[in-house]
């Protein structure tokens, strides 16, 4: 299964998390599902290091091999180097059988020979294998399996120590965080997860968040009943920054996959008016299915291109622009992004984000507030977007982000304890290394003037 998922990721540009969700059978044993997931995401996270180690024993690089052979070699070496409970002999033999099953039996001797040589090196330190002529960014890029350009820019932005901490976090298994939709059912959710062999623990940031280990919570009855959803804690926090009140008109402009909309809709209540928009009809359909699962009604779904004129006659009290972005804050959860992203795309995302954000501000009521957010850690997509929009719209001013204290975990309700989240410059930021969440950014802005 790991091979099939990786093949689709590489050949079709699919996202591993989505393909895994489709592929993992409900009746599959939890241990088998966990192993397939571990191999798939582990190979993607460590691809550069794996290829570097494999290239030592090949006449041509892994990238030049047939995709089937390259994937089998990576899967085999990942097991040898990173999975302690799989014997080396089994990892090699199963890889040989896998390349045969994939109709590349002619490559079986190569797979066998290369993996046996690689197996003899798994206890050796990595640094002596690095060529002495490599730059520091290249060395770190190989050892921590990130592209060199990304390492170089992060070192220039943050320094080497924080860059290493971030890459280390990106290569760790992320917490499987969930959001409880109704705190009254916390005990029911916890009990069923325990009966299913899973462990739950409180969130690090938010009162209604919890993390799960030991299985797939989406297979439980309490999940199917809509009592909770799977969502990173940083993502959970973003809609709370908007301060929606009962009766508000609310626009969730880039709403898919829909995880933030329920918070906005429940805060607006039955007297509010909530629009969730997205460019793609199939994503709106998937959102509707999620809203049905969590028993959310009254949200108006609208298909639109937010880069163009927005088709709304009336303005909104609150707008959320969770903009499409590079996703560099989600590299632990979506490791394939690090190999697909190119540095020039950051400027492209910036232009897209400015258009989306700028369009949204024109539909904000006087006195209304708008939150701009991304799951990126790059200034071009964050602070620089906010600055450009502010520079072209004098009626818009920036506010400091704020979070209702009752939504935070008790230890964060003291402002001094939450300084990492609510920075002195007025932005909201999370870090995979510091908060063990996805890396998110958010800013709150207001249209000046009073509501008539």
Q: Supply φ then ψ for residue 418, to 5 degrees.
A: -105, 20
Q: Supply φ then ψ for residue 357, to 5 degrees.
A: -65, -45
Distance CA 246, CA 14 (A): 40
Query: Could you tell me if 179 and 209 are in contact, meaning their C-beta atoms sit under 8 angstroms apart?
Result: yes
Distance CA 250, CA 140 (A): 45
Query: Could you tell me if 121 and 107 are in contact, meaning their C-beta atoms sit under 8 angstroms apart?
Result: no
Query: Regarding beta strands 228-230 and 273-278, do their DSSP bridges make them parallel or antiparallel, or are they unpaired?
Result: unpaired
The 3-state secondary structure of the chain reads: CHHHHHHHHHHHCCCHHHHHHHHCCCCCCHHHHHHHHHHHHHHHHCHHHHHHHHHCCCCCCHHHCCHHHHHHHHHHHHHHHHCCCCCHHHHHHHHHHHHHHCCCHHHHHHHHHHHHHHHCCCCCCCHHHCCCCCCHHHHHHHHCCCCHHHHHHHHHHHCHHHHHHHHHHHCCCCCEEEEECCHHHHHHHHHHHHHCCCEEEECCCECCEEEEECCCHHHCHHHHCCCEEECCHHHHHHHHCCCCCCCCEEEECCCCCCCCHHHHHHHHCCCCEEEEEECCHHHHHHHHHHHHHCCCCCEEEEECCCCCCCCCCCCEEEEEEECCCCCHHHCCCCCCHHHHCCCCHHHHHHHHHHHHHHHHHCCEEEEEEEEEEECCCCHHHCHHHHHHHHHHCCCEEEECCCCCHHHECHHHCCHHHHCCCECCCCCEECCCCCCCCCCCEEEEEEECCCCC
Q: Sign of dihedral through CA atoms 39, 40, 45, 50?
A: positive
Query: Could you tell me if 412 and 145 are in contact, meaning their C-beta atoms sit under 8 angstroms apart?
Result: no
Question: Which of the following is catalytic: 178, 325, 375, 452?
Answer: 375
375 counts as catalytic: yes
Point out the residues that are catalytic: 375
């Amino acid at each position: 299964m790991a091979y099939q998922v990786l093949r689709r990721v590489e050949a079709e540009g699919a996202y591993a998390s989505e393909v895994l969700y489709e592929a993992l059978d409900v009746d599959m044993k939890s241990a088998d599902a966990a192993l397939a997931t571990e191999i798939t995401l582990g190979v993607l996270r460590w691809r550069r290091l794996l290829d570097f180690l494999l290239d030592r024993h090949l006449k041509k690089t892994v990238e030049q091999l047939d995709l089937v052979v390259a994937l089998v070699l990576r899967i085999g070496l990942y097991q040898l180097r990173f999975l302690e409970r799989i014997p080396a002999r089994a990892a090699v033999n199963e890889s040989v059988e896998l390349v045969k099953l994939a109709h590349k039996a002619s490559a079986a001797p190569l797979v066998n020979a290369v993996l046996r040589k690689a197996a003899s090196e798994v206890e050796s330190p990595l640094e002596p294998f690095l060529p002495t002529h490599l730059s520091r960014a290249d060395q770190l890029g190989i050892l921590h399996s990130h592209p060199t350009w990304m390492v170089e820019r992060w070192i220039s932005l943050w320094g080497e120590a924080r860059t290493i901490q971030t890459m280390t976090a990106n290569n760790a298994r992320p917490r499987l965080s969930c959001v409880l939709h109704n705190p009254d059912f916390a005990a029911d959710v916890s009990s069923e997860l325990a009966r299913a062999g899973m462990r739950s623990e409180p969130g690090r940031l938010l009162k209604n968040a919890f993390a799960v280990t030991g299985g797939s919570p989406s297979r439980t009855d309490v999940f199917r009943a809509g009592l909770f959803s799977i969502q990173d804690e940083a993502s959970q926090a973003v809609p709370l920054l908007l301060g929606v009140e009962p009766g508000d008109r609310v626009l969730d402009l880039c709403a898919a996959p829909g995880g933030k909309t329920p918070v906005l809709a429940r805060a607006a209540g039955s007297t509010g008016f909530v629009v969730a928009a997205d460019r793609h009809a199939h994503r709106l359909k998937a959102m509707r299915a999620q809203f049905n699962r969590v028993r959310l009604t009254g949200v108006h779904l609208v298909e639109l291109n937010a880069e163009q004129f927005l088709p709304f006659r009336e303005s909104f009290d609150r707008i959320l622009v969770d903009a499409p972005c590079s996703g560099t804050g989600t590299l632990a959860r979506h490791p394939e992004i690090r190999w697909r992203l190119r540095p020039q795309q950051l400027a492209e995302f910036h232009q897209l984000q400015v258009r989306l954000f700028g369009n949204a501000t024109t539909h904000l009521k006087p006195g209304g507030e708008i939150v701009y957010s991304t799951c990126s850690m790059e200034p071009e997509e964050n602070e620089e977007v906010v600055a450009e929009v502010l520079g072209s719209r004098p009626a818009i001013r920036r506010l400091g982000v704020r979070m209702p204290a009752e939504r935070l975990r008790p230890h964060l309700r003291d402002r001094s304890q939450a300084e990492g989240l609510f920075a002195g410059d007025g932005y909201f930021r999370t870090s995979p290394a510091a908060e063990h969440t996805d890396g998110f950014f958010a800013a709150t802005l207001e249209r000046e003037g009073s509501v008539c």
